[in-house]
């Protein structure tokens, strides 16, 4: 019996292409809040204390729009007696609420934690853009969705945390609804995704071996094949990343899988996000900036197989140096715009999984904040 053709998986934007990251970078440095050693106990911010008993998680669907009808996937972690501020987490582009399956329960020892899959991704509804290329996926629409979730859950004032492109939503929401925001956590986001990165006047080397692998038909033939492909292009493979992938694909009758976000929605979200220039002047909430800096090929190009030829080895080293310069410059600019002294810079880690690999340090930095 002939097997039906398999629609290839698309690259997940949850781990953006290296040139895409460079394109979005602007100006930042490596000072401020120092990374604590893993062995010390977490510092608890004023007014917060750990709860008692196990952390439980509730899966919800929250309706945020009627025209069109849109409900979002929401995961809600709670621990009895926890008195810390409620923390609401937003994933990076292409990610969904499941990517926080490790960090969220860790934070939930002291706070209620809510993770949201924005429209278009995970198990949230996916209205198709019809009138314009970015219809239903502009940053203002996503900000309204966020407010609708907070209203439905009765969350009057929260700490917002966002990974990567979610920084747009944090900044916009904090500017429009300052009374609803106790604090902001920028998890390796960029100052302005419309601005080219500060490469120090150098051009990143062009080398096809440095390009992130693109999935082919064989990578969607089964769930195991899809997992294997994503493991190959990720520094570390965590249960939270696997849960994120499982929420992002549809399993078909023949055992093959395909991404459950249509390509026009993926493009709409990407385009809208990269056309939005944030205004930080209206942001008043205390902010924490977390920056992930790659230090070697495993951090930036995990798919590279050894041994490398001399040209690829040099190109990778040059690309890494330029990328680090751009990331540090961009982080400095974000710190200045937010007028915050609070920074955690993590060296030798990856944009995709740093808050899993370095969870203890991220957790301490968040709990260090008093969130006035």
Which tens digit of pLDDT belongs to each residue from 332-345? 999 999 999 999 99
Which tens digit of pLDDT belongs to each residue from 86-144? 999 999 999 999 999 999 999 999 999 999 999 999 999 999 999 999 999 999 999 99
CATH number of the structural domain 18-368: 3.40.50.1820
- Residue ranges covered by each domain of the chain: 18-368
Instruction: Specify which residues 346 forms β-bridges with.
Output: 292
Determine the pLDDT at residue 197: 86
Counting as low any pLDDT under 70, the low residues of the chain are: 1-49, 51, 372
What the block records as the tokens of 263 is 């390509």
Q: How far apart are CA 110 and CA 305, in angstroms?
A: 42
Determine the pLDDT at residue 10: 52
Q: How far apart are CA 14 and CA 83, in angstroms?
A: 32
Q: Label residue 162 exposed, middle or buried (CB < 10 Å: 0-12, 13-18, 19+).
A: buried
Determine the pLDDT at residue 309: 96
């Amino acid at each position: 019996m002939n097997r039906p053709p398999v629609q290839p998986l698309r690259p997940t934007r949850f781990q953006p292409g290296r040139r895409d990251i460079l394109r979005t970078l602007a100006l930042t440095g490596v000072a401020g809040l120092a990374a604590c050693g893993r062995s010390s106990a977490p510092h608890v911010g004023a007014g917060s204390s750990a709860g008692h008993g196990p952390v439980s998680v509730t899966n919800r669907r929250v309706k945020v729009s009627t025209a069109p009808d849109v409900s979002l996937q929401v995961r809600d972690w709670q621990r009895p007696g926890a008195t810390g501020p409620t923390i609401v987490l937003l994933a990076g582009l292409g990610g969904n609420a499941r990517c926080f399956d490790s960090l969220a329960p860790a934070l939930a020892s002291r706070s209620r934690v809510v993770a949201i899959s924005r429209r278009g991704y995970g198990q949230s509804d996916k209205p198709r853009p019809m009138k314009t290329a970015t219809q239903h996926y502009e940053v203002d629409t996503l900000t309204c969705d966020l407010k609708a979730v907070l209203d439905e859950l009765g969350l009057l004032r929260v700490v917002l945390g966002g990974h990567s492109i979610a920084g747009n939503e944090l900044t916009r929401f904090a500017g429009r609804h300052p009374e609803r925001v106790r604090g902001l956590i920028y998890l390796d986001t960029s100052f302005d995704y419309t601005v080219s990165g500060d490469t120090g006047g150098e051009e990143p080397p062009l080398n096809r071996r440095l390009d992130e692998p693109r999935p082919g038909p064989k990578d969607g033939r089964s769930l195991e094949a899809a997992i294997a492909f994503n493991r190959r292009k990720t520094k570390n493979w965590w249960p939270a990343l696997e849960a994120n992938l499982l929420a992002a694909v549809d399993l078909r009758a023949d055992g093959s899988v395909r991404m459950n976000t249509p390509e026009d929605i993926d493009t709409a979200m990407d385009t809208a996000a990269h056309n939005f220039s944030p205004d930080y002047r209206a942001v008043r909430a205390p902010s924490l900036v977390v920056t992930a800096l790659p230090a070697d090929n495993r951090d930036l190009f995990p798919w590279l197989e050894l041994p490398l030829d001399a040209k690829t080895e040099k190109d990778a080293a040059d690309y890494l140096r330029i990328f680090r310069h751009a990331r540090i410059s961009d982080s400095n600019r974000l710190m200045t715009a937010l007028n915050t002294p609070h920074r955690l810079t993590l060296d030798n880690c990856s944009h995709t999984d740093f808050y899993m690999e370095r969870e203890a340090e991220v957790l301490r930095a968040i709990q260090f904040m008093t969130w006035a």
